[in-house]
Amino acid sequence: MGETIVITSGKGGVGKTTITANLGISLGQLGFSVVMVDADIGLRNLDLVMGIEKKVKYHILDVSKGLCTLDDALVKDTRSKTPLCLLPASQSHFKEDIQKDDFSDLIQSLQERFQYVLIDSPAGIEYGFRLSTKDANQGIVVVNPEVSSIRDADRVISILEQKKIKPIYLIINRVNTELLKKKEIISPEEIQEILDIPLLGVIPEDPAVVISANQGKPFAYQTQSKLGELFLHIAKKLSSEEPVMMEDSYKAESLWNKVKKSFTLKK
Amino acid sequence: MQIKVIQEDDIQFKGCSSGILILINQDLDFEKLIKKLIQKLKKEKKFISDMDLFIKGKDRFLDQDELGMIRKMVRDKTKFSILNASQLEPELPDITTSPARNKGLLSSQPFLIINHSLRAGEEINTTSPVILHGDINPGAILKSSGPVIVTGKIKGDVIIQNAGEGAFVYSSGLQPNRLSINSIDLSGSILIESDMLNASIVYCNQNAINILRLKEDKWEKQL
C-alpha cells in the first residue's frame, strides 16, 4: 500500500498546489510511482500548474459516478520517466457533491497502484478538508511567514493530530530573504518553534515560482535550478528513513544574493 | 422494521474527577439519542451547570464528526459545552491519570495534567488547577478556576475565574494575547518581546495583578 500524504494549510493561497505538483515530480525523479489527487473540487488548478490541463478529459466525480473508469480519468505526465499521474478535480461541481465513502474507495484504489498518493487539499477546514484528510496517513502543512498563516496552520495541525495522522511535516513557503535579514518577517526558526513539527524545507520567495506555475512548467523538472534541487532534497527527506542533510536554502539564497549584488556593483 | 427504544441506561451520567462523564450508546438512532440527551441535560441543569461535561460512547470514544454534531446540537439547545472524554484518558496514563492531590492554597481538586501544547482553536475549560507540559499558542484558550502552570510559553489566552486570592499563573515565557485572573486583565502593554525569555509568575493580590520574573537566578518583582 502506498503512502497517502495530504498537503494542507488552513489558509488559502500559501502555495499548496505548487508544492504538491513539484513534490510529486521530485518523488517521481527519485524513482517512485506517484499520483496527485486534486481534492479542490470546483476550483481545479493542479492540472494548470502541472501544465497538463489539455489532457484532462474526465475528473474525480466522473469516476465516482461511474461515468468512466479510474484509468480513463488519470492523466499521465509523459515528461516523467516513472509513472506520474493526476486525478483532476471537477471544475463545475461542489465539494459536497462527492460522498466520503466514494472518495475513500478511490484513494484506496490509488494506494494499491502507486507508491505515493499526494492529496492537494482545499483551503479551510470544512468538508473538502475533511475529505482530503480522511484517508491520509501523513500530512504536510504549508505555511507562509505571516501570523495569519501560522495561526491557521496551528489549527490544522491540531485537527490532523486528533485524526492520528502522523508524521505531520512542515514546509515554510515564500520566505523573503531581504525581509528576513531586516527581521521584518517571522523567521523559519520561530515558525518551527511555534508549530513544533518536523521541518521538511524552507522555500525562498522567487518570481520563478510564479512564472513556472503560469507557464505550466514546474521548476522541479529543472533539476539544475536551485528550486528544482531544493525540491529533490525535500522529496529525499520525505521518502528516506535515514536523516537527509539539507542546507538552509533561505540562508544559502541570501548568500547567493550577496554575491549577485557584489557583481552588480562592480558593473 | 425493528423499532429501537432508547432505554434509561442508553444515556448515563457518571461523576468523575474532572466533572461529569456522559456515556451514550452510540449504536442507537442518533437523532433520538440526541433528543433524549438534551432532555436529560435540561432536567439535570441545576446540578451540572458548574461542572465540566465529557462525553464518550459506551465502548469507544466518539470521532470528531460525531462529537462535532453532538456539541453543536447540545450547545444550540442548552448552552452546555461538551468535551471529548478522550481528554480524560490521554495517551500517557502514567502521568495523566495519577492526580496530584494538593493542599490548602490549591484547593482540594486534582490537577488536570495536559501533556501537549494547546494549538490555535483548542480550548480547555476546567474547574481544576492545571499543569500543561507545552506551550499555549496564539489562538488557544485555557480557562480554569485554579492555578495554572505552563512549562512552555504562553502566547494565547489564559483566563482564571473565581479562584480566590491564591490564584497564579506560572510559565517559562510570557507573551499572552490575554491573561486574566479573577476578572482582572494583565495589560499587554507592560510586556515586552524579551519577556518571552524569562520564567514568570503572575498572581493576583488585593485586586491587582503582580508579576515576578526570574532574572539571573533571582525572582524580581516587575509589577
Percent of all residues in chain A with a pLDDT value above 70, rounded to a whole number: 90
Report the pLDDT value the prediction gives residue A246, as an integer from 0 to 100.
56
Percent of all residues in chain B with a pLDDT value above 70, rounded to a whole number: 81
Name the residue with higher pLDDT: B129 or A258: B129
**Which residue does chain A place closest to B136, by CA atoms?**
A194
State the pLDDT confidence band at A121, using cuts at 50, 70 and 90.
very high
Lowest mean pLDDT among A125-139, B28-42, B124-138: B28-42
Q: What is the spatial distance between Cα B66 and Cα B26, in angstroms, rounded to a whole number?
A: 9
Same structural domain, B117 and B209: yes
B77 touches chain A (CB under 8 A): no
Same structural domain, B104 and B166: yes
Name the residue with higher pLDDT: B19 or A262: B19
**Which residue does chain A place closest to B153, by CA atoms?**
A194
For B119, the closest of A147, A158, A163 (CB atoms) is: A158
Same structural domain, B65 and B115: no
Helical packing angle, A147-162 and A127-134, nearest 10°: 50
Model confidence pLDDT, tens digit, residues B169-219 = 999 999 899 999 988 888 666 777 667 788 999 988 877 888 888 888 888
Domain termination residue (choose one: B87, B104, B134): B87
Place of cell 512549562: B151
Residue B161 has pLDDT above 80, yes or no: yes
Q: What is the spatial distance between Cα B157 and Cα B133, in angstroms, rounded to a whole number?
A: 16
CATH of residue B180: 2.160.20.70
Residue A165: name the closest of A129, A202, A210, A213 by CA: A129
Residues 6+ apart with CB under 8 A from B81: B53, B71, B74, B75, B125
Domain termination residue (choose one: B87, B108, B141): B87
Q: B148-154 and B178-181 as β-strands: parallel, antiparallel, unpaired?
A: unpaired
Same structural domain, B103 and B41: no
Domain boundaries along the sequence of chain A: 3-266
Residue B130 falls inside a structural domain: yes
Same structural domain, B192 and B161: yes
Helical packing angle, A100-113 and A127-134, nearest 10°: 40
Report the pLDDT value the prediction gives residue B101, as an integer from 0 to 100.
37
Same structural domain, B19 and B116: no
> In this complex, do A154 and B65 lie within 8 Å of one another by their Cβ atoms?
no
Dihedral pair phi/psi, residue A123, rounded to 5°: -70, 165
Domain termination residue (choose one: B87, B105, B122): B87
Q: B208-215 and B218-221 as β-strands: parallel, antiparallel, unpaired?
A: antiparallel
Model confidence pLDDT, tens digit, residues A31-40 = 999 999 999 9
What are the cell numbers at A243? 536523516
Model confidence pLDDT, tens digit, residues B83-117 = 877 766 543 333 333 333 333 444 556 889 999 99
State the pLDDT confidence band at A129, using cuts at 50, 70 and 90.
very high
Mean pLDDT of A180-198: 94
Residue B30 falls inside a structural domain: yes
Name the residue with higher pLDDT: B81 or B59: B81
Lowest mean pLDDT among A144-148, A235-239, B14-18, B200-204: B14-18
Residue A193 has pLDDT above 60, yes or no: yes
Report the pLDDT value the prediction gives residue A264, as an integer from 0 to 100.
42
Expressed as residue numbers, the domain containing B110 is: 93-221
What are the cell numbers at B44? 439535570
Same structural domain, B142 and B192: yes
For A155, the closest of B117, B120, B135 (CB atoms) is: B120
Q: What is the spatial distance between Cα B99 and Cα B138, in angstroms, rounded to a whole number?
A: 28
Same structural domain, B124 and B80: no
> In this complex, do B64 and A159 lie within 8 Å of one another by their Cβ atoms?
yes
Q: Side chain identity at B171, as an amino acid letter? A: S
Same structural domain, B192 and B110: yes
Instruction: Identify the residue among B72, B119, B157, B196 best suited for mutation to test binding to A, counting A beta carbons within 10 A and taking the highest.
Output: B119
Superfamily of domain A3-266: P-loop containing nucleotide triphosphate hydrolases (3.40.50.300)
The count of domains in chain B is 2
The answer to whether B138 and B118 have CB atoms below 8 angstroms apart is: no
> Which DSSP letter does residue A97 get?
G
B119 touches chain A (CB under 8 A): yes
Same structural domain, B61 and B103: no
From the CA of A151, how many Å to the nearest CA of chain B?
6
Residue B2 falls inside a structural domain: no
Name the residue with higher pLDDT: B136 or A211: B136
Same structural domain, B193 and B119: yes
The answer to whether A51 and A249 have CB atoms below 8 angstroms apart is: no
Place of cell 494506494: A111
Report the pLDDT value the prediction gives residue A249, as an integer from 0 to 100.
55
Mean pLDDT of A73-86: 96
Mean pLDDT of chain B: 79
For B137, the closest of A154, A161, A162 (CB atoms) is: A154
The answer to whether B156 and B174 have CB atoms below 8 angstroms apart is: no
Same structural domain, B79 and B113: no
> In this complex, do B64 and A152 lie within 8 Å of one another by their Cβ atoms?
no
Q: What is the DSSP string of A26-56?
A: HHHHTT--EEEEE--TTS--HHHHHT-GGG-
Name the residue with higher pLDDT: A237 or B26: A237
Cis peptide, bond prior to residue B129, ω within 30 of zero:
no
The answer to whether B192 and B198 have CB atoms below 8 angstroms apart is: no
Q: Side chain identity at A168, as an amino acid letter? A: I
Residue A23: name the closest of A140, A105, A183 by CA: A140
> In this complex, do B64 and A194 lie within 8 Å of one another by their Cβ atoms?
no
Report the pLDDT value the prediction gives residue B119, as an integer from 0 to 100.
96
Instruction: Quote the ipTM score.
Output: 0.76
Report the pLDDT value the prediction gives residue B75, as an integer from 0 to 100.
80
First to last CA, chain A: 57
Report the pLDDT value the prediction gives residue A232, as an integer from 0 to 100.
94
The answer to whether A157 and B119 have CB atoms below 8 angstroms apart is: yes
What are the cell numbers at A255? 548568500
Report the pLDDT value the prediction gives residue B88, as an integer from 0 to 100.
66
